[in-house]
Every structure is written in structure tokens, then in C-alpha cells.
Amino acid sequence: MSNHPPYDVVIIGSGAAGLTVALNLPATLSVAVLSKTVIKSGSTLWAQGGIAAVLGDDDSVESHVKDTLVAGADLCHEDAVRFTVEHSKEAIDWLISQGVSFDLDDSVSETDPRRYHLTREGGHSHRRIIHAADATGQAVLGSLVDQARARANLTLLEDRVAVDLITRQAPSANENRCLGLYVFNEVTGQVEALRARFTVLATGGASKVYLYTSNPDIATGDGIAMAWRAGCRIANMEFNQFHPTCLYHPQAGSFLITEAVRGEGGLLKLPNGERFMHLFDPREELAPRDIVARAIDHEMKRLGADHLLLDISHRDPEFIRQHFPTIYERCLGLGLDITREPIPVVPAAHYTCGGVMTDLNGRTDVECLYAVGETAFTGLHGANRMASNSLLECLVFGRACAEDIAQLSPVIEEPPQLRAWDESQVTDSDEDVVISHNWNELRHFMWDYVGIVRTDKRLQRARNRVELLQQEIRDYYSNYRITPDLLELRNLVDVADLIVRSALMRKESRGLHFTLDYPDLAKQPTDSIVIPTRYVPEAWKHPSHTGKIVP
């Protein structure tokens, strides 16, 4: 049995979503924040553009709501959109109170509430993106980590890879409660059982399922896969956002060129220098990401080009260096001076719009289990996430989740002792090459068959390969001691299965899901919901629960 003392709350993930939950919980609760590597890791650190919020006098909640609904291709849940936008200013105010320094507008007095510089990105009708140069994620994460390290009730656990959630399922009582989780400690090489009254999934998205991605290596859909195996419904996984502009260079790795470059006048061009976005959308470079990514993909395939160009060199060099210092320095280090020449770009998998179904408090279908940030499906993003709404979602729903946990805490009892991890029937593997081979195969066929443009034939090919990989990995997992690479591969294959299943369910082209077999919109927009065999309908009906599971 596990002798580890229970926590009140265990948060899996140390990005903006997870740390927002942790820092908004009462100081009387014991909280553990788990990070797969170091605390300052994950997608938040890579976020460049900024955070969308209604801050300017010429902007309004209604305008932000409308822009989000339009970008989401009529599939956003308006209650979730309105909830998010209405709480946007207080979320920004909270970040500022935590020490985040956003860029100021030099033309406005520092005592003026409009003193922050706001930029504009695709899909937005106003300048409403507050930012810290082109490294907003670094500024946000740095401040939140500093605050977390100063909290006596928070324990930050690095190098911990989540294995699976531990649940107590009692169908006769209509209950499926999360009691904690198994965690692989990379320092000791042992699996620990962590008990918790509440567990929060804040593990980010699953873009590493694709060959080319803007995400860090740890974005392997861990929270989504674990929630699915525990009995949670998963929605809209077919909507994988491909960011239109990632740097194309053999030494660049996964480096994003923020949408704010286009927001500040950057122009997309063919290799011969001609512009082309006017042929696809009247908003040109400021069209939503799904449209821009498909346009670039179309032109690359038409021309047989391996990249296109993003040119902001017509702007003042000092303006470029001031507003995009990270991009400028990164490109300069590769021999590209963006004040003089265009940036070579390609689309890459960027954001998972679907995820674990939650209500507006972050509650999932499993009692005492929450999901926030990119892991969750709140209904905010619909069929296409609008630029800079992602960090906003982390903040708004992270704060709502913490408030809900605080209200429920007095009536949720301590979980029982957990069974210790048993590896008496497994051995060390001498065939780790199988993991790397399967990893590469998965990401290649997902890119080829489940990418920006799809067909049922391609999707079925992917489904067949996923099923074969699932069986092989299941056998491997059952017979050998686990490793972080095996855990990530297991989660990625489950996520790939969810993506393909969801894509096969959608008989239309909407937002980020474009299929040659069904090029038109369906008359009635509906979510693609995948229901696990362990799902307990209406499992969590506590008297204090005022929200509702998103239908």
C-alpha cells in the first residue's frame, strides 16, 4: 500500500493553466504541482503573441464574443465564449498583480488605464492582444513560477511523468471518483501512488502526434489519454489547429513565427515575391488560422514548394527589433535578417481545440477530476481557435476551477489508501527500438493521412494503422517495465485514435477539419463526442454543483 501522505489537490502540469489553479487555491490546502521535466517547460513558455482581452475603450465584450464565434465556424458554445470574455479583464488584472510586465504604449501616460500596448491578430476586429514583446509566455510563466515557489502550501515536483489516474468505480452508486494517480519518478526510477482529494489535468495538448509541430516534445496528450481511460468523454478531437507560420530552416527545430507579425503588417508571399492571400479571403493575412494554413498548404502543393515567405521587412527596422526581439535574434542567428529579407515559413501542428469535456468550472465526468487549459474541451474554441484566446482560457478557467475546488473542499473526504504499483510480472526491455520505430511511424502517417486536408480513405488507413500500433503497445506495456518514452507513446496512440475516430464522424468541412469527400457545411453544427466504455452518465451530481456538463 502507498504510504505517501495525501494532498488536497494534485495538479498535473506546470504551465499557465496548472499554476493559475494552484495560485488561486486557498493557502490552507496542500497542493502538489507535477511537471514532466523542469517546472519552466511546456507550451506556455513558447507562447509569443499574447493574450486576448477586452481592454481598450473602442473594444467591447460583444465584439470579442462575435469575433470568437465567427472564427469558431459556428461551433463555439456561446455560454463558454461569453463566460471567458466577460472574465478577461479580471484575469489580466490578476496576472499584473502576480508581477507580469506587459509592454506599455509610449504615447500614453503610465497612470492611464489604457497604458498597455495592444496588438491585433487574425480574426480580431480590434487591437486587444496584450503582450510582453514577442515572448509573452516566458513573462507569464516566469512570474507564476516565482509566485508558486514562494507559497508554503505548494509543492513543486519535477521530473514526474503521470502514468494513469486511479479511480473508484461503483456503477450501482452511479459513482466514478478520482482518488489520485500513479506517477513515474525519473529521479528514482520508481512509480509512486499519489493520493488526492482533487486531481487537475493541465497537461496541454497533443500536437506531438504530428510529424511537424510548433509544440515542445512533451506535448503528447497525456491528460486527454488518461481521462479517456478513466471514463471521461472526449470531444472535437478532429480540430487540430495548424499554425500557418513556423520557421522553415534545417536548424530551427520547432520555432513559431507569431501571428502578431501579420497583425503588424507582415505579408505572405510566394517564392517569386507575389502575394496570394487575397485569392482566398478578403481579410487576407488577417483571416483566421484555418483559412491561412489551408491557403499556404494549397500554394505549396500547387507549386511543389517546400516553404513560402512571410515578409515584414517593409516596416521600420527599429520597430521590428522592438516588437519582435525573440524572432529577430533567432532568425539572425540562422543568417536571416528579417529587417531586410522575408522569413521562410511552413504550417505545423499547433493547438488541440478538442479535449476532455468539462463544465464552466473545469469539472469532468469523473468526480473530483478537473481539466483546464488545452487539455480541456470547454466549448470556447469551436472548430478553430482564434489567436491569443488560448492563454486567456488557461487563466479564466484556471481561476474558476480553483474557486470550485475551494467551495467543495469542506465536503470531499480524504481518499483511501491506494494499492502500490506492481511490477512483479514485468521485466526490463531489450527492444526499446520498437518504441522509437512506432513513434516515428505514428507521427508520419498522422501527418500524411490526418493533416490539413483529409479524405475518408486516408482516415481509414490511419485508423487501421492506429489499431495495429495500439495492440503492439498494449502488449509491450503489459510485459516490460515502463519508461517515459513508452508512456508518451501509449498516450499518443490513444490520442491518435480519438482524433481519427472524431474525424470519421464528421461528414462535412468545418473550420480546421477539411475533407475532400464532404467539402460543404452540414446544416446543423454538432460536436463530435467519443464516449468511453467506462463512462457513467451524470456521475457527478453534488448539491453545490451549479454548472452543467457541456452537451
| pLDDT digit string, tens, across residues 323-369 | 999 999 999 999 999 999 999 999 999 999 999 999 999 999 999 99
Average pLDDT, the chain: 90
- Spell out the residues 6+ positions from residue 193 whose beta carbon is closer than 8 angstroms to its own: 2, 4, 166, 180, 181, 182, 183, 418, 419, 420, 421
Average pLDDT for residues 483-504, to the nearest whole number? Answer: 96
Q: Residue 547: which pLDDT band, with cuts at 50, 70 and 90?
A: very low
pLDDT attached to residue 178:
95
Q: Which residue has the higher pLDDT, 108 or 162?
A: 162
**545 DSSP 8-state letter:** -
Nine-digit cell at 427?
Answer: 521485466
Q: What is the pLDDT of residue 40?
A: 78
Which residue, among 388, 392, 387, 393, has the nearest Cα to 372 in the 3D structure? 393
Q: Is residue 48's pLDDT more than 90?
A: no
- Structural domains in the chain, CATH included, are 7-238+353-408 (3.50.50.60), 244-348 (3.90.700.10), 433-519 (1.20.58.100)
In SS3 terms, 204-272 reads as CCCHHHCCCECCCCCCCCHHHHHHHHHCCCEECCCCEEEEEEEECCCCCCCCECCCHHHHCCCEEECCC
Distance CA 514, CA 25 (A): 41
Residue with cell 520547432: 254
C-alpha to C-alpha distance for 130 and 469, rounded to whole angstroms: 43
Tell me which of 23-27, 112-116, 365-369, 438-442 is least confident.
Answer: 112-116
| pLDDT surpasses 70 at 1 | no
pLDDT, residue 186, reads: 94
What's the one-letter identity of residue 162? A
H or E element, residue 164 = strand 160-170
Q: Which of 30-44, 160-174, 537-551 has the highest mean pLDDT?
A: 30-44
Output the pLDDT for position 545: 37
Which parts of 72-192 fold into alpha helices (H)?
Answer: 78-86, 88-97, 136-149
For the CA atoms of the chain, what is the radius of gyration? 23
Q: Where are the beta strands (DSSP E) in 382-503?
A: none
Residue 182 dihedral angles phi and psi, to the nearest 5°:
-90, 140
How confident is the model over 286-328, as pLDDT tens digits? 988 888 989 998 999 899 999 999 999 999 999 999 999 999 9
Query: What pLDDT does residue 73 have?
Result: 94
pLDDT, tens digit, for every residue of 196-252?
Answer: 999 999 999 999 999 888 888 889 999 999 999 999 999 999 999 998 999 999 887
User: Which amino acids are annotated catalytic?
Assistant: 289
Rounded mean pLDDT, 6-15: 97
